Structure 1
C-alpha cells in the first residue's frame, strides 16, 4: 500500500512539474540575454538614470549630457565615447572600460569605478567628489590630475576618493 501511495505522489509531482509555470526558470533564462549594444549611437541628453546595463557596450557613442545617475553599469564598455557633461552621480561602473573617454565637465561624484580601465581618458573640470576608483587603471598623468582634486568619501563603499586613487 505504501509503495502505491509513493508512486501516486511521484506521478502527481511529475505532472505538476510539466503543467505548472516555472517562474524561476523564466528568470534564469533572462540572465542569458545578450548584453545591450549602443555602439556608435547618438544618445545625447538621454535619461538612463537608475537603469541596469550589465556588460552593455557604448563604444564610440555620443553620450553628451546623458544621465546615468544611480545606474548599474557594472562590466559595461564606454571605449572612445564622448561623455562631456554626462551625469554618472552614484552610478556603478565597476569592472568596466572607459578608455579614451572624454569626461569633460562630467559629474562622477559618489560613483563606483572599482577595477575600471581609464587609459587615455580626459577629466577636465570633472566632478569626482566621493568617487571610488579602487584598483582602477589610469595613466600616470591622469592620477596626478585626479589627485589634485580628490575630495570626499563614497557614500556606498566608505572609501575616500584620495585613498582609492592612491594619492600621497
Structure 2
C-alpha cells in the first residue's frame, strides 16, 4: 500500500483550523496603540482660588471647577461642554461666546457675569443665582431654572444666539 505524502484536501478549500484560530486571535487583540490618546486630560481645579484667571478660548470640556472662585476670570470663547461648575463663584467673570452645553451650574453664583452669546443648552442650573448678568444672545434651551431666576433673566433677556439662531427670550420661555 502506498503512503500519502500530502495532507488530505479540505472540503471547500478551507484553511487549516490553526490558521483560523491565529487570525481570530490577531483580530481580537486591542488596537489601542493605533488610536492617539488625547493630549490633555480634563482640567480639575476644584476648590481653588483662581481670581482673574485667563482661560479664554480653551478646550475645557468635562473640566471640574466645583466650588472654585473664578471672580473676574476670562473664560470667553471657551468650550466648557459637560464641565462642572457646581457652586463656583463667577462674579464679574467673562463667559461670553462660551459653550456651556450640558454643564453643571447648580449652586453657582453669576453676579455681574457676561454670558453674551453663550450656549447653555441642556445645562443644569436650577439653584443657580443670576444677578446683574448680561445675557444678550444667550441660549437657555432646556435649562431648568427656579421661578425667581427665570423672572430676573426674562427682565434683561434680548438678542439672538449666533450659533443656534435662537432668541434668548424664546429659550427662556419669557412671555
Query: Does the pair score TM above 0.5?
Result: yes
Structure of greater Rg: 2
- List gaps (5 residues or longer) in structure 2: 1-31
Distance 1:23-1:138 versus aligned 2 partners, 3 A rule = same
Structure 1 counterpart of 2:29: none
Question: Alignment length, in residue pairs?
Answer: 144
Distance 1:24-1:128 versus aligned 2 partners, 3 A rule = farther
- List gaps (5 residues or longer) in structure 1: 1-21
Q: What is the aligned counterpart of 2:38 among 4, 8, 30?
A: 30
Distance 2:100 2:35 in 1: 28
Structure 1 counterpart of 2:97: 90
Normalised to the residue count of structure 2, the TM-score between the two structures is 0.78
Q: Does 1:121 align with 2:128?
A: yes
Note the C-alpha offset of 1:34.
4.3
Structure 1 segments of 4+ aligned residues over 6 angstroms from their partners: none
1:57-95 deviations in Å (ceiling 9; x for gaps)? 100000000001000000000001100000000000100
Distance 2:148 2:118 in 1: 21
SS of equivalent to 2:110: coil
Structure 2 counterpart of 1:58: 65
Q: Does 1:108 align with 2:118?
A: no
Distance 2:34 2:69 in 1: 37
Normalised to the residue count of structure 1, the TM-score between the two structures is 0.81
Note the C-alpha offset of 1:141.
1.3
Distance 1:107-1:24 versus aligned 2 partners, 3 A rule = farther
Note the C-alpha offset of 1:24.
6.2
Q: What is the aligned counterpart of 2:158 among 146, 151, 162?
A: 151
Distance 1:139 1:152 in 2: 22
Give the alignment's Cα RMSD to 1 decimal. 1.7
Note the C-alpha offset of 1:35.
2.2
Matches within 5 A, 1:129-148: 129-148=136-155
Structure 1 counterpart of 2:74: 67
Q: Does 1:43 align with 2:50?
A: yes
